[in-house]
Structure 1
Amino acid sequence: MSFVKLHQQCDDCGSSDALSYNEDGSSYCFACAKFTPSESTGAAVSDIKERVVPGQGFDRSSFTEPYRGYQDRGLTATTMSAYSAQQKAGNILFGYHTPQGELTAVKTRYPDKQFKISGDWKKAGLYGQHLFPSGGQYITVVEGEFDALAGYQMFGGKYPVVSIRNGAQGAAADCRRAYEFLDQYDHIIFCFDNDDHGRSAALECADIFGGKARIYHHGEHKDACDYLLNGDKEEFVKRWWAAKTYTPDGMVMLGSLRDALKKPLEEAEVRYPYKGLDDMTFGVRPTELVTICAGSGLGKSTFMRELVFSILAQTNDRVGLAFLEETPDRTARGLVGLQINKPIHLPGCDYSPSEVDQVFDSMDLDDRVVLWDTFGSNKIENVLARFRYQVKVLGVKYIVLDHISILVSDQDNGDERRAIDEIMTKLRMFCQEMHVCMFVVSHLKRPDGKGHEDGAYTSLGQLRGSAAIAQLSDIVVGLERNAQAEDAMVRNTTNVRVLKNRFSGMTGPATSLMYNKETGRLTEVFE
């Protein structure tokens, strides 16, 4: 099935141009995602996004014919050929490709500005995406196919230009879909139409990419095509270079908070799994950077798995887990084993497949936990790019990074202190920008005298490598355990100490946790 009318008014949501009609009279709104079947079918109205995909058939032969310049838009044959924009019977055919370069769909523009889409639209990337597969410094994203052609021609083919597929109302969805492609570039310039819809869409798309995004500000012209038609190539390029880095609105007057201050502060939606710790921290909050520290081999990862399990049990949110010293299988076994109350990460553990299924089904785990595969670079830029993808595209709300020392070893400067300073600063900014809570695991320096494995107290001064870990963390929690004690109860008891608490200021001993080797669980001990 093909679209025969695009950019129509939607009576359901009020959008002025988001509705498209199919050949059989059915319609789909890109703004509210409402699919309405043809009246002749008698089917009920439902929200089925897949129905937007048109039929498979289209004529490829048009794109094997010689390309001609399009004088009405000032476009050369070279530009038309580069973007597979063909003229046929007074219509313009825009060839859409998969990211790998296969021609997969055609959008036909008729003289009356109506459109028809043929082919496998679901596989199509951004218009022109296949031409620029390798990333680089700059890429420009525009609002229509002709604008992509015009921008590319005015740049003399020096800089990549791509177009969103479905107009301003679908811009953010298109950018999320092409996130990994666009995120390869250092700077992403959004040059949408100079109207309310275009400006709003540009801001929404820029917010997806944060500091990489720039917003193009037009002068008297409406879009890239207007610059080309009016011979203002130099003005277009000048304004392109002047595009400023996107900065979200972040200034408020104290007076605007007057009414909010009259209401008591709401409780945190997520609580720590241990009462003694939760009483001192008042729960888990968005934007917080929480550091968990202990000596080597004293149960930091086990503690983190208990915390993750608690978050999953309390919310329906997604969690991203970067346990860099573990395989995804080890992380998954440790996490699922908590609900089964069995250490299924150990050989010989007696459990059944049905117990695993029950955990996945009862907690809906299939797509709520994003695990980290450590194959590849752990440079901080790459790590943040993966985290940003998890947050913006997958909707992750909580991230665990275990542990920071592995990131330090992958940096280029060779100076541990400076590397930790840089990493912690970027993690702190990331939490604030992405509005997520991140838990970071850190090793400790060996203290003078008794070591941590013998039960030595933890302190902020023992955080390894740099004072930035203590300074930039909102909360720092130390875990202490005498792993060499002869008494089994002492040997398996972890003391939890709050070393820093920016939220409430309460610090000191919080609680004690007992490890049960039969279940693999850490449970709170109340005296």
Structure 2
Amino acid sequence: MKEKRHFVTYHKPCRVCGSSDAVSINNDDTARCFSCEHWYTSYHGEDKVEDFTVHQRNSKETSGFKTGGSFQSLKDRNIAEETARKYGVKSEYTDDKGKHYYPYYIANEVSGTKIRNCTTKEFNWIGSPKGVMLFGQQLFQKGGKFLTICEGECDAMAAHEMMDSKWPVVSIKNGVQGALKDIKENLEFVESFDFVVINFDNDNLGKKKSIEVADLLSPGKAKILTLPDEFKDANDMLRNNRRDAYKSSWWNAKAYTPAGVLNISEMKKEYFTRKEMESIPYPWQGLNDKLYGLRQGELVTLTGGTGLGKSSVTRELEHWILKNTNDNLGILALEENWQRTVDGLLSIEANTRLYIKQIREDYPTEKLNMHYETLYGKEDDNRLWVHSHLGEHNVDELFSKIRYMVQGLDCKWIIVDHLGMMTSALSEGDERRAIDNIMTRLRSLVEETGAGLVLVSHLRRIDGNRGHEQGAEVSLAHLRGSNGISQISDCVIALERNQQSDDVIEASTTRLRILKSRYTGDVGLAGALHYDKQTGRLKEVFDFEDGEEVEL
């Protein structure tokens, strides 16, 4: 059995970036530099460069050390001799082999030379790279209009040449993985320019590191240059004689703005071609009048006192979605098993309280089967998905299941009943912090997936003789545990009912109150729902004080 790769030697020098102790070597001689992220296929073998020595910098060792080559055009890179001479880059070519020598300075003195093997594309150093300036930095004074930073030495020389040698161009020394470190070490020089044009390689890593560097600089200073798709870097454009195209890209480099900050003048097309989130009406006209329906991409919180019908309202909504749309629906009813969820929805379909065992057992089997197929369809319909659990919940698993329902099962709507059970599944002693954590994650999930989510939440007990179970008016301040519920929700709908009233109508009629509507801003009473004990259904009523029922 082959031995698993693992580190056996630590704190060895890197021949690429010059670090004296950043390399760790594996048991198979592969190695990684934790400074520049270079990967050695064989640290002691084929990766080893002949005649390589690293000298720690001091005045005696770094002053006047010799390298090979002469000033000439870099023919493999199409860089003119004049440009190479300006940057102090010597080269030598023998048959098909070649080397470049890139000088790096501290102040006005060469501290180290980076050697590129043109055949193997490997690098090593003579002298010390520690503390050096950016490549080419010694050529330019601080405080100019523009500074361009490239990913490699040849890119810097190519960019300078294509811009008619008018503007300062430098490069990082250790590859794009070390870009932040290199620029931080020379930040005073970089920040002295009015604008900094970042021209890293035209690949995903280069684009990512461009943003990281832009974030490092003062606001408004960074511009990110975007090359045409067919070119990898500045030198690639020079070798293909696309000087004018490079100039155009350079002058059109866009000022960097952090993610989430948009220049609206550039967003006209996106504004007029935006994808509108789908919406469906609620089952009750009073809610539609104030909320203009239920929308995907929104988080709606339904709240009310204990025993005031929150689950009944959500079941009516679930049934409405199944009967009036073609959308898939996901349900996480955390206080009941999946059979109870199915019973509740069948009860609405049958207009009979089938969730009561005695009623269900007396109900004709053929009619029950008919309602089941009408509501849930055949086995291949796959529209309703219910979370099955054993009474225990892990909050990460719950979020994973919600995500799977949306992305894997194409559920457009998710019902979660209720927040308190999710909070108890999170092992945090602070209820407020736990609620904030869950609400933030739910908000992010809704934004990411575009699903519509209805969340059931409880109320805290209030002071005074009249509680929510006696019909007390609900406010946002009554939401249990955290202000995060009201702040993060797009809409908050409260249920109010005096379940202890001697008046049968009053005891079985629930007011709907809109506490928040980010979409319309319309709040206040939105009608009432009367519970019919015979059918188990909720019927919308208006003019509740007079007892007049209006059927829609």
Given the two structures, how large is their TM-score scaled by the length of structure 1?
0.52
Structure 1 residue 316, shift from structure 2 partner:
1.2
Residues 294 and 480 in structure 1, CA contact (< 8 A), matched pair in contact too: yes
Q: Structure 1: how far apart are the matches of 2:29 and 2:207?
A: 19
What letter corresponds to residue 289 of structure 1 in structure 2? Answer: L
Residue 368 of structure 2: aligned partner:
356
What letter corresponds to residue 459 of structure 1 in structure 2? Answer: S
Deviations 1:55-93 (A, max 9, x none): xxxxxxxxxxxx9xxxxxxxxx889xxxxxxxxxxxxxx
Q: Structure 2: how far apart are the matches of 1:155 and 1:361?
A: 62
Residue 385 of structure 1: aligned partner:
400
Task: Trace 1:25-36 onto structure 2 (pairs within 5 A).
Answer: none
Residues 155 and 237 in structure 1, CA contact (< 8 A), matched pair in contact too: no
Task: Trace 1:4-43 onto structure 2 (pairs within 5 A).
Answer: none
Residue 289 of structure 1: aligned partner:
299
Deviations 1:318-377 (A, max 9, x none): 111111111100011001211111110002214333333333433454521111123275
Residues 268 and 282 in structure 1, CA contact (< 8 A), matched pair in contact too: no
Residues 458 and 480 in structure 1, CA contact (< 8 A), matched pair in contact too: yes
Residue 330 of structure 1: aligned partner:
340
Structure 1 residue 241, shift from structure 2 partner:
11
Task: Trace 1:253-332 onto structure 2 (pairs within 5 A).
Answer: 253-255=263-265, 258=268, 269-332=279-342
Q: 1:259 to 1:526 in 2, by over 3 A?
A: farther
Q: Structure 2: how far apart are the matches of 1:415 and 1:241?
A: 40
- 1:513 equivalent in alignment to 2:529: yes
Task: Trace 1:468-483 onto structure 2 (pairs within 5 A).
Answer: 468-483=484-499
- 1:406 equivalent in alignment to 2:421: yes
5+ residue gaps, structure 1: 1-66, 68-76, 80-151, 157-228
Residues 334 and 391 in structure 2, CA contact (< 8 A), matched pair in contact too: no
Residue 36 of structure 2: aligned partner:
none
Q: 1:242 to 1:381 in 2, by over 3 A?
A: farther
Residue 473 of structure 2: aligned partner:
457
Q: Structure 1: how far apart are the matches of 2:356 and 2:504?
A: 20
What letter corresponds to residue 370 of structure 2 in structure 1? Answer: Q
- 1:419 equivalent in alignment to 2:420: no
Q: Structure 1: how far apart are the matches of 2:358 and 2:289?
A: 38
Residues 346 and 375 in structure 2, CA contact (< 8 A), matched pair in contact too: no
Partner of 2:295: helix, strand, or coil?
A: coil
Q: 1:236 to 1:467 in 2, by over 3 A?
A: closer
Residues 272 and 307 in structure 1, CA contact (< 8 A), matched pair in contact too: yes
- 1:503 equivalent in alignment to 2:519: yes
Q: Structure 1: how far apart are the matches of 2:276 and 2:408?
A: 28
Partner of 2:357: helix, strand, or coil?
A: coil
Q: Structure 1: how far apart are the matches of 2:278 and 2:474?
A: 27
Q: Structure 2: how far apart are the matches of 1:338 and 1:420?
A: 32
Q: Structure 1: how far apart are the matches of 2:395 and 2:275?
A: 35
Residue 502 of structure 2: aligned partner:
486
Deviations 1:98-119 (A, max 9, x none): xxxxxxxxxxxxxxxxxxxxxx
Percent identity of the aligned residues?
37
Q: Structure 2: how far apart are the matches of 1:313 and 1:472?
A: 30
Residues 335 and 391 in structure 2, CA contact (< 8 A), matched pair in contact too: no
Q: Structure 2: how far apart are the matches of 1:488 and 1:280?
A: 28
Residue 106 of structure 1: aligned partner:
none
Partner of 1:272: helix, strand, or coil?
A: coil
Q: 1:508 to 1:346 in 2, by over 3 A?
A: same
Q: 1:266 to 1:326 in 2, by over 3 A?
A: same
Q: Structure 1: how far apart are the matches of 2:356 and 2:288?
A: 30
Aligned with residue 432 of structure 1, among 447, 461, 467: 447
Partner of 1:348: helix, strand, or coil?
A: helix
Partner of 2:492: helix, strand, or coil?
A: strand
Q: Structure 1: how far apart are the matches of 2:520 and 2:315?
A: 25
Structure 1 residue 301, shift from structure 2 partner:
0.4
Structure 1 residue 315, shift from structure 2 partner:
1.4
Q: 1:421 to 1:391 in 2, by over 3 A?
A: same
Q: Which runs of 4+ in 1 moved over 6 A?
A: 152-156, 229-232, 234-246, 259-267
Partner of 2:530: helix, strand, or coil?
A: strand
Given the two structures, how large is their TM-score scaled by the length of structure 2?
0.50
- 1:524 equivalent in alignment to 2:524: no
Q: Provide the alpha-carbon RMSD of the alignment.
A: 3.9
